[in-house]
Amino acid sequence: MSFVGNIFGAYAARATGQYNKSLLYQEAQLARKNAEIKQQAFENIELPRLLKQQERDQSSLLVNLLKSGVDVDRVGETPYLMMLEQNIENAYDVSIARYNSRVTYQNEINRSLLTQARGRGEEFKGELAYRVGMAKAIGEAGGNYQSSGGESILY
């Protein structure tokens, strides 16, 4: 009669695998949503803040340069060249911030895909345990039938 336990165990393994798959799928969905939220936070909060800060810094630099007067004996350090260099640094900072935001977003998406794949693996394990349990139950039931001389052991 242990084949009955094997059947119940098989169904329990299948149900556990399906539950784990759904749980990990929800976790993956949450990770994707968090990635979207982080991306939106960067676009709507961090990037405008960075651009405003750069604008304030550039304005302060311009005021300081105007207060210092024109000094033509310093080659390579004219106010125009200093402002140009500051603009290049600002553009570089924005590029780095955007790149970091994209990399973070892709990492979050990749992590969610791995979590979802882990869920499919759990479902596969459950299905495999189900099939093994059913095969074992069939084997034991057949063995019980043979050992009883062909009579049913359920009576």
Is the confidence at residue 153, as pLDDT, over 70? no
Q: Please state, for a pLDDT cut of 90, what percent of the chain lies above it.
A: 52
- In 3D space, the residue among 114, 125, 117 whose CA is nearest the CA of residue 17 turns out to be 125
pLDDT value, residue 6: 81
Burial bucket for residue 130 (CB in 10 Å: 0-12, 13-18, 19+): buried
pLDDT range class, residue 155, cuts 50, 70, 90: very low
Residue ranges covered by each domain of the chain: 2-147
Position 124: which residue type?
F
Mean pLDDT of 17-23: 92
> CA-CA distance, 76 to 78, in Å (whole number)?
6
